[in-house]
Amino acid sequence: MALTAADVARLGELARIRLTDEELARLAPQLDVILQSVARVTEVAGADVPPTSHALPLTNVFREDVVTPSLARDAVLAAAPAVEDGRFRVPRILAEDA
């Protein structure tokens, strides 16, 4: 079953995309090819084929978690616009009773 311009128009409405008649005529066959390709992939994948997200196995590469010296508190607070009790002073956004 081929995708029609009316089908594409409905998809455009659902996605809140305004499409011209020329765009509908051009997109309908293109989207139909995409849907046919996806359908072909589902035919190939049988019960013996495990689902994968990548063709090759991937592993995350993390750097070593090493403790390094940080900035001195006084140096950091010296650049702050407002300081109170050795901490950054920020505007209150919640009421006391919240």
pLDDT digits (tens, 9 = 90+) for 57-85: 878 888 888 999 999 999 999 999 999 99
pLDDT at residue 2, rounded to an integer? 84
Q: What is the span of the domain harbouring residue 40? A: 5-44
pTM: 0.45
Cα–Cα distance measured from residue 43 to residue 32, given in angstroms and rounded to the nearest whole number: 17
pLDDT at residue 23, rounded to an integer? 95
> Could you tell me if residue 64 is inside a domain?
no
pLDDT above 60: residue 98: no
> Could you tell me if residue 75 is inside a domain?
no
pLDDT digits (tens, 9 = 90+) for 30-62: 999 999 998 888 777 677 777 777 778 878 888
How many domains does the chain contain in total?
Answer: 1
**Core vs surface per residue 33-64: b (16+ CB within 10 A) or e:** eeeeeeeeeeeeeeeeeeeeeeeeeeeeeeee
> Could you tell me if residue 26 is inside a domain?
yes
